[in-house]
Structure 1
Amino acid sequence: MQDEHRKAIQNNFISLVEQTDLDVMVSSLYEKGVFSERMIEPYKDMNKDTRDRKRQLYMDIPRRGPLAFGHLLDALSENGYWDLVRDLDPRSSLHARRPRNPGPSTSAGSNEKFLSISDEKKKTKTGTDINKNPVPPPPRPPADPKDLPDPTTIPDFHVVKSTKFFEDNDCESEIQLYRTRGRRRGVLVVFSYVDFDNLETYRSGVDADCKNLKYLFNEIGFRVLSYQDLTKKETLETLRGLKEVVVGAESVFIVVSSHGYEGPRGYDNDLRCSDGGLLSTRDVIDHFNNKNMPALRGVPKVFIFQLCRGSNEDSLWSSTATDGARDARDAGCATGPPRAARGAPPPPHMLPPLEPSPRDRVYSDILIAHSTVPGSVAYRDAAAGSWYIQVLCEVFAARAHDCHVEHLFTLVDKRLHDAFRVQTSSVDRWGFNRRLYLHPGLAEP
């Protein structure tokens, strides 16, 4: 096999392992003569972990002669892994057409099912970028094979597994738990926007974010779906199509990573799609509310937005505020809610009219986490990934086994400050009135 083809497999090794179905690929490569019947037996050994068998498969392919790379591309293309073909072969004819709203994988097996994933144009540079307007990375020099990272490496954090399920606390029975005990623990959907049509700079480091998120949630026990560089139309079509995928899951996490802008309405902000179209964060959330997706009523839905919310870069060298100053500012606030809001019943003439049929609120069971506060930038390292996703993965890996999700996001902000100082995350709760434990690695029979 040519060196450039071997390097292409090395550079995309993790994506190949995570995105492809083992049985499908083994069967296709056997039919094309890449492997003999005897050689494919180790890949069928059910006593070994599926991921380990796939890792071995893609380590063996470069040893199968000069035609193996072409057969690999054909097998991937025939089975719908077009993004992987584009990543492996820059001269592929598939670059001329983009996949339109790819549908969910239906292959059986483990939870390693990914959609429309491509860790495109991996570029590196030193220093830290602001997500809003990063400096374009310099061209990457040809790499010496001995300098390439080991393609079999996994993220350098360990996901601590749960040993028991958390139960509703009788002492706090009014705060119950979301149920997360089944094999369909949850679904993570990642929308990442890296490359834009002549409107924005390439977002170096996002490939690291995606790799870390996929690894983290796979280890927790989630099914992971990933979409990259969709247009605005494709994004909206995909959001609508997710109903068939997420319904039935015990929890849903939606991660959106892109360039972001302060929105005109104040309570949300806009994100950039690959064709330059803008979409508000509220539009993303609304696809999962109780009106548009009633089957998810009562199911926890966690949204994570890694994007700027403005251009403010303010920071302090040291704190000058005193307790007295804080008290003075607090003193300027209203003294409290009106009497009716504190528990006294409103007078009869203020009661809402009776409705002819039962009604329910549109928004519930929603938790919204932002990498930064309104009006401010979100920072991203071109090699290690965004500051926020870095610390989120570290905290969730270390503490998801004994902390509920709201506590985890509190620890994320504390870690964000400890590590980087100048960025503040934020969390909003929309009817998120139970505690969500992820119970990584633990499921009822």
Structure 2
Amino acid sequence: MDPRHRAILQRYRNKLVELLNPTDICDGLLTRGIFTQDMIDEIRGSGTRRDQARQLVKDLETRGSQAFPAFLECLRETGDPLLVDLLQGGNPSTHPVSTPVRPVPMPVPIYTPTDTDKCDRGDVIPPREVPLYPEKLAKPIPSSPCESTFKSEGRQRRDSIQSYKMDASPCGLCLIINNVEFDPLSDLKDRKGSDIDCNKLERRFKSLNFETVVKRNLKAKHIRHELSTLAKRDHSAYDCCVVIILSHGTEASHNRFPGAVHGVDGPSVPVQIITNYLNGQNCPSLQGKPKLFFIQACGGGEKDIGFEVTPDEVKPSFGGTDDQTDAIPMSSSSDSLSMSDEPDARASLPTPSDILVSYSTFPGYVSWRDTQTGSWYVETLDQILEENAATDDLVTMLMMVNNEVSQISAKGLYKQMPGSFNFLRKLLYFQAKKT
């Protein structure tokens, strides 16, 4: 791109992020050969409208000398003279600012009963004093025990805590991406033992009444394609959606969810992009429903040797003799998210809702996998779900997983600490029979 055009885009980046609607111009840029379909999918999967606009502008700067003129043509076709004038050096028109209308307070009439006003018993209704300040509303008394306590097989839920609806059959879709055999040119080793993890989780989520789909050995672009396909499905009849990714991982720049997972060809897909495919904007039929992501991959290359504690604080547990890690150094590829407009990003990012991302390890650290029995994280997660899904909510069970995995040691020295980014709004109970 001409340096002069790139400077214009950078100068007006914040205004473009504020006003641009990528949906209106993506097709035009695609037909003109400026963007590829993979780039369009990445833009559409990058989050809110502002996130998509930010990604579009960043990509536009890399697309050659015809990108800027084509961008202006698309803006003209979609009837956006404000941005066209702005980018051509004119003064954009300003939007009128409306003055908010303040409601006029009206006096509330005070009713004084007369002696002709009678209650059901024939008595005169006594005058009621009107308080100066509003009274607190009395907590309604439930008309029946069913309203105060939600009863389910094996557990009770207090009426003061809301739970997600999780009674659809099947409960939802579960996509498992299992990357085992990597291209030799990627410098990534094959992940022996990952099939064991995959089989365990497929059986487990089938037992929790999920419709499971397993995809094996996907390249980075195919990971994106599967997530895009999942987002386009109609989830109206389901109550939940689960995505499980078993692969090599790395660090990546982020402003929401850390980390990235590798395709078998080498390039990585940021976890932030993965979650964006299923957010409320990109997948309307999952709005208000829990979206769960389980990531068995390294968060980086650092090995945790732990710290010394007294013997009664932790019960040591030793991993197998065939423990391996799923890490490579921090990604510097184009898949890492740009933060060149960081002030705007910080000011405009929405809080994700109904999303939980469970990581096998703390960001920046390796994740251990036994080639004979599978990964520490998956083996423990499967065991905890089997023993506790009928009685405990998901977040409580993940804390159990954290505790159990933290007590395992690789080669008698290295440790691992799972964790999660939790943006669920309610408790989540799986469909499970009490054993």
Cα distance, 1:163 vs. partner? 6.9
Cα distance, 1:295 vs. partner? 1.4
Q: 1:410 is paired with a residue of what secondary structure?
A: helix
Cα distance in 1 between the residues matched to 2:196 and 2:235: 25
1:433 corresponds to:
425
Cα distance, 1:176 vs. partner? 0.3
Q: Is the 8 A contact 1:395 1:411 kept in 2?
A: yes
2:226 corresponds to:
238
Cα distance, 1:270 vs. partner? 1.7
Does structure 1 residue 398 correspond to structure 2 residue 384? no
Instruction: Read off the aligned partner of 2:262 and give its amino acid letter.
Output: R
2:181 corresponds to:
195
Does structure 1 residue 222 correspond to structure 2 residue 210? yes
Q: Is the 8 A contact 2:154 2:390 kept in 1?
A: no
TM-score by length of 1: 0.51
Instruction: Read off the aligned partner of 2:309 and give its amino acid letter.
Output: S
Q: 1:183 aligns with which of 156, 169, 178?
A: 169
Q: Which moved more, 1:272-281 or 1:403-412?
A: 272-281
TM-aligned CA distance change 1:206 to 1:245, over 3 Å: farther
Structure 2, unaligned stretches of length 5 or more?
A: 1-150, 311-348
Q: Is the 8 A contact 2:260 2:269 kept in 1?
A: yes
Q: Is the 8 A contact 2:181 2:189 kept in 1?
A: yes
Instruction: Read off the aligned partner of 2:263 and give its amino acid letter.
Output: C
- Which structure is larger by alpha-carbon Rg, 1 or 2? 2
Instruction: Read off the aligned partner of 2:292 and give its amino acid letter.
Output: V
Instruction: Read off the aligned partner of 1:212 and give its amino acid letter.
Output: K
When the two structures are aligned, how many residues end up with a matched partner?
241
Q: 2:265 aligns with which of 252, 258, 275?
A: 275
TM-aligned CA distance change 1:437 to 1:276, over 3 Å: same
Structure 1 vs Structure 2 CA RMSD: 2.7
Q: 2:306 is paired with a residue of what secondary structure?
A: coil
Listed one character per residue, the Cα deviations across residues 378-428 of structure 1 (whole Å, up to 9, x for unaligned) are: 000001111100000000010000000000101111111234471101111
Does structure 1 residue 409 correspond to structure 2 residue 415? no
1:206 corresponds to:
194
TM-aligned CA distance change 1:251 to 1:219, over 3 Å: same
TM-aligned CA distance change 1:165 to 1:301, over 3 Å: farther
Cα distance in 1 between the residues matched to 2:235 and 2:265: 26
Percent pairwise identity: 26
Cα distance, 1:168 vs. partner? 4.7
1:258 corresponds to:
247
Instruction: Read off the aligned partner of 1:290 and give its amino acid letter.
Output: G
Alignment of 1:162-177 (within 5 A): 164=153, 168-170=157-159, 172=160, 175-177=161-163
Q: 1:309 aligns with which of 282, 299, 318?
A: 299
Cα distance in 1 between the residues matched to 2:267 and 2:236: 28
Structure 1, unaligned stretches of length 5 or more?
A: 1-161, 321-359
Cα distance, 1:169 vs. partner? 1.5
TM-aligned CA distance change 1:296 to 1:362, over 3 Å: farther
Q: Is the 8 A contact 1:188 1:217 kept in 2?
A: yes
Q: Is the 8 A contact 1:290 1:361 kept in 2?
A: no
Cα distance in 2 between the residues matched to 1:387 and 1:176: 32
2:116 corresponds to:
none
Q: Is the 8 A contact 1:219 1:441 kept in 2?
A: no
2:38 corresponds to:
none
Instruction: Read off the aligned partner of 2:216 and give its amino acid letter.
Output: Q
Instruction: Read off the aligned partner of 1:231 and give its amino acid letter.
Output: K
Does structure 1 residue 384 correspond to structure 2 residue 376? no
2:331 corresponds to:
none
Cα distance, 1:218 vs. partner? 1.3
Q: Is the 8 A contact 1:187 1:224 kept in 2?
A: yes
Cα distance in 1 between the residues matched to 2:236 and 2:372: 35
Listed one character per residue, the Cα deviations across residues 5-56 of structure 1 (whole Å, up to 9, x for unaligned) are: xxxxxxxxxxxxxxxxxxxxxxxxxxxxxxxxxxxxxxxxxxxxxxxxxxxx
Q: Is the 8 A contact 1:261 1:270 kept in 2?
A: yes
Cα distance in 2 between the residues matched to 1:263 and 1:279: 9
Q: Is the 8 A contact 2:304 2:416 kept in 1?
A: no
Cα distance, 1:247 vs. partner? 4.5
Cα distance, 1:441 vs. partner? 4.5
Question: Of the two structures, which has the highest relative contact order with CA contacts closer than 8 Å and spacing of 6 or more?
Answer: 1
Cα distance, 1:255 vs. partner? 0.7
Q: 1:289 is paired with a residue of what secondary structure?
A: coil
2:362 corresponds to:
373
Instruction: Read off the aligned partner of 2:169 and give its amino acid letter.
Output: R
Cα distance in 1 between the residues matched to 2:175 and 2:237: 15
Q: 2:168 is paired with a residue of what secondary structure?
A: coil
Cα distance, 1:184 vs. partner? 2.1
TM-score by length of 2: 0.52
Q: Is the 8 A contact 1:291 1:362 kept in 2?
A: no
